[in-house]
Amino acid sequence: MSVGTNTIYEIQSTEDYQKFVFSCKDHVIALNFYANWAQPCQYMNNVFKELSLKFSDIKFANINAEELEEISESFEISIVPFFIILRQGKILTKVSGANPPELTKIIAQFSKKIVVPSIESSNILNEKSENEITNVLINKESEYEDLTIRLEKLVKAEPVMLFMKGTPTNPQCGFSKQIVEILNDLNVKYGFFNILSDQEVREGLKEFSNWPTYVKNIFVLSNFFRYPQLYVQGNLCGGLDIVREMIKTGEIQKLFQESGIQFT
């Protein structure tokens, strides 16, 4: 594996990540955890790219926080954008949110190069990012109007609806596989939707379910709202962890009974 100078490496798998860290063991590493749907991440991806050009002695890598959940969870990533600085496998520091001045300062701190960023310029960048994010969030309402009607029908397509990665016979992630096993053990009839087959539904359902939580240039990646998502009678129950807890307490069995849903 070769990681070139001034190149941001795109991590594609856990094995890919391990190879990257090993190949860069003599360097400081900067990791950018992002999600495609989060506007702050889109902006910070550009900032991250500019920093990679400025600080060529540091190795930069992008990690899709949702698609590579195993890596995200190993670092306890619960928000995006999120940045981790490593050296020889050890965490040196972390930076959360869309904060160009802070990220620039941290990267410069661990770089051997002497680069003095313009504080005035950085503040303008940060202000611009917040304005762009605000405008995008405001304009989303009309953008999702028609999709909302479609999602309302989808979540009510069956009394129990599972939105998952893959299909029950061919799940595409460990969490989806586990929740399918749980539902099969309950012997409950359920419909499913493969969110990998429809990007519009995948992203739109997050808005529909009031996900994610937005807090000043940070998006929360709560386990409650990661896929898979289970709906009962059109209402969101939650993801794998929540469903497990509901079964443990008997809450989901009670919900099925009250809804007239048969299970064993």
> pLDDT for 37-65, tens place per residue?
777 888 899 999 999 999 989 999 999 99
pLDDT of residue 173: 82
Q: Which long-range contacts (CB under 8 A, 24 or more apart) does 215-220 make?
A: 216/97, 217/40, 217/97, 217/98, 217/99, 217/129, 217/130, 217/133, 218/40, 218/79, 218/80, 218/81, 218/96, 218/97, 218/98, 219/35, 219/38, 219/40, 219/41, 219/79, 219/80, 220/78, 220/79
- The strand pair at 82-87 and 28-34 is best described as antiparallel
Full-model pTM: 0.52
pLDDT of residue 148: 84
For helices 100-109 and 119-143, what crossing angle results, to 10°?
130
To the question of domain 144-258 being in CATH 3.40.50.970, the answer is no
DSSP H or E segment with residue 258: helix 251-258
CA distance 154 to 191: 10
Mean confidence (pLDDT) of the chain: 80
Region 94-113: mean pLDDT is 87
DSSP H or E segment with residue 231: strand 229-232
CA distance 199 to 29: 31
Phi, psi of 103 (to 5 degrees): -65, -40
Query: What's the Rg (C-alpha) of the chain?
Result: 21
pLDDT of residue 212: 46
CA distance 103 to 117: 11
Amino acid in position 89: G
Amino acid in position 81: P
pLDDT of residue 217: 53
- For the chain, residues classed under CATH 3.40.30.10 are 8-136, 144-258
Q: Tokens in use for 67? A: 């698609």
Q: Tokens in use for 221? A: 């990646």
To the question of domain 8-136 being in CATH 1.20.58.410, the answer is no
Q: Which long-range contacts (CB under 8 A, 24 or more apart) does 17-20 make?
A: 17/61, 17/63, 17/68, 17/71, 20/59, 20/61
pLDDT over threshold 80, residue 152:
yes
pLDDT of residue 239: 83
81 burial type by CB count under 10 A (0-12 exposed, 13-18 middle, 19+ buried):
buried
Between 257 and 66, the more confident residue is 257
